[in-house]
Structure 1
Amino acid sequence: MTSASTHPEHHRISPVFLGLVVLMLASGWAVWSGWADITGLAVFLFVVSGWIVSLCLHEYAHAHTALRGGDTSVGAKGYLTLNPLKYTHALLSIVLPVIFVIMGGIGLPGGAVYIERGRIRGRWKHSLISAAGPLTNALLAALLTAPFWLDAMADVPYAFRYALAFLAMLQVTAAILNFIPVPGLDGYGVIEPWISPNLRRQAEPFAPFGLLIVFGCLWIPAVNGVFWDGIGEVMGWLGVSDLDVSYGYEFFRFWQGEPQITVTPPL
């Protein structure tokens, strides 16, 4: 059988993904320049396109790690092209995460690429495949917040600063939520190879509902409070204040009107 790695077309970046990158760059420029007085809409487009790009990179990390681990089928499935339309559940992987961002400003994880686990040998490989996605979100969070923790934000337009902070926060929430060891999420995939077969069989029926379980728990006020306090702590370690994120979310929800900033943007 010919390996997926020998087919260049399996690795060719999709025009859909390139289009998303172009939209992200163009809307980012519009936010930076304040072009045409559409800052709120530009922030919305920048965050949504940037969020979808990060979801593509998340799923690509799973697929590429699986390819290196022995599952050559991911190439023929189109997972290595970064095309979001090739995912097993485009609705779960793209549409629902975007809706969650609009509704509650949270980077809730979506669906996953289908990995043929039977082709992969070794528990560490299985764990790494599951960890690759949320680790990608963590890396993106570090990159997006680099200007903050490097004290390089002095001359950055305030709207772009807040948009960047909000997009970075989505990466942090996605990384943390994905690492929760609930069946159906990547965190469970990390530990699954190391637990007993009997426990795996007991957990398997809950896998389709893992995302709903997490979402439901976040509706509990006590859990929600602890979660957002933790997110605030992590963002603080990265040099991003609650104010940065809050204004970013307000700009993002442009249909409610541009926020009235009454304080000096933090330096």
Structure 2
Amino acid sequence: MDQLERFLAYDLDELPYVIVSLLIAFTVHEFSHAYVAYKFGDPTAKNEGRVTLNPISHLDPIGTLLILIAGFGWARPVPVNRFHFKNPKLAGVLVSFAGPFSNLIIAILGFLIFYGLLAAGAGPDLPFFVQPFLNVLINLNVLLFVFNLIPLPPLDGYRIIQDLVSADLRAKMTQYEQYGSLIFLILIITPLSHYTIRPILDTGINFVGGTLSQFLSLLFF
């Protein structure tokens, strides 16, 4: 067990909560992209069976495994064809934002359930796994919300920027996107992450998580 734990980004006793939370977070995230794209007139994702809450349709085996080992990873990207949109800029922004926003909603629901149980006096009587599961569910979804809004390819934040800029600038961004993706990987997998991505994540997670916690707790206490 100790040897296995050395290769994981999480403690073994936390691993079941992480796996279930990942299944929920990744599935809802990718479903939201696919559903919003379909509602704006793009049937591409629907035709590939992605407008579903079945995790098997959305999980990438390697990306999921890396989450457990390295602490970062990915799900299967949802295919989007902007040419089906009547208003490509608006639809593109909303489709890209739908994924991170769904993670924010899950985090909010997690907080509401947690504070609701405490306010009802159910804390001491809860099964042992409820509080740690909610804690992981909330933290992981806040992380995914903040992480995916970083404006670097291939993240959703970059796609949002692409749809907000002019057509000429979008074309230039697309031309150099492969280099941006390489830079992103370097920032993630090297010690540079401690000076670039990690401070952004820590600041964003503390702000979003702290704000949600303070605001939502006022509804119950």
TM-score for the superposition, normalised by structure 1: 0.62
Aligned length: 195
Corresponding residue to 1:222 among 171, 174, 195: 195
Q: Aligned residue for 1:34? A: none
Rounded to whole Å, the distance in 2 between the matches of 1:163 and 1:211 is 33
Whether 1:200 and 2:166 are equivalent positions in the alignment is: no
Whether 1:139 and 2:105 are equivalent positions in the alignment is: yes
Offset, 1:43? 4.3
Identity of aligned residues (%): 27
Q: Aligned residue for 2:33? A: 62
What is the alpha-carbon root mean square deviation over aligned residues? 2.9
Look up the equivalent residue of 1:103 and give its one-letter code: A
Look up the equivalent residue of 2:201 and give its one-letter code: F
Rounded to whole Å, the distance in 1 between the matches of 2:96 and 2:200 is 25
Look up the equivalent residue of 1:143 and give its one-letter code: L
1:1-267 equivalent positions in 2, closer than 5 A: 43-87=14-58, 90-91=59-60, 95-104=62-71, 109-122=74-87, 123-150=89-116, 151-152=118-119, 154-155=123-124, 156=126, 159-208=129-178, 213-214=183-184, 216-218=186-188, 219-220=191-192, 221-223=194-196, 224-239=198-213
TM-score for the superposition, normalised by structure 2: 0.73
CA contact (8 A) 1:59 1:113 kept: yes
5+ residue gaps, structure 1, are 1-39, 241-267
Look up the equivalent residue of 2:133 and give its one-letter code: A
Rounded to whole Å, the distance in 2 between the matches of 1:204 and 1:79 is 25
CA contact (8 A) 1:148 1:239 kept: no
CA contact (8 A) 2:40 2:91 kept: yes
CA contact (8 A) 1:184 1:211 kept: yes
Rounded to whole Å, the distance in 1 between the matches of 2:159 and 2:12 is 37
CA contact (8 A) 1:145 1:168 kept: yes
Offset, 1:187? 1.3
Offset, 1:118? 1.0
Rounded to whole Å, the distance in 2 between the matches of 1:173 and 1:214 is 17
SS at match of 1:236: helix
**Deviation per CA, 1:73-110, whole angstroms, max 9, x where unpaired?**
332210112334445xx53xx53144224433x5x554
**Deviation per CA, 1:105-140, whole angstroms, max 9, x where unpaired?**
x5x554421012111121211211111111000000
Which stretch has the larger CA shift, 167-176 or 227-236? 227-236
Which segments of structure 1 move beyond 6 Å, counting only runs of 4 or more? none
Look up the equivalent residue of 2:62 and give its one-letter code: V
5+ residue gaps, structure 2, are 1-10, 215-221
SS at match of 1:239: helix
1:44–1:183 Cα change, 3 Å: closer
CA contact (8 A) 1:184 1:206 kept: no
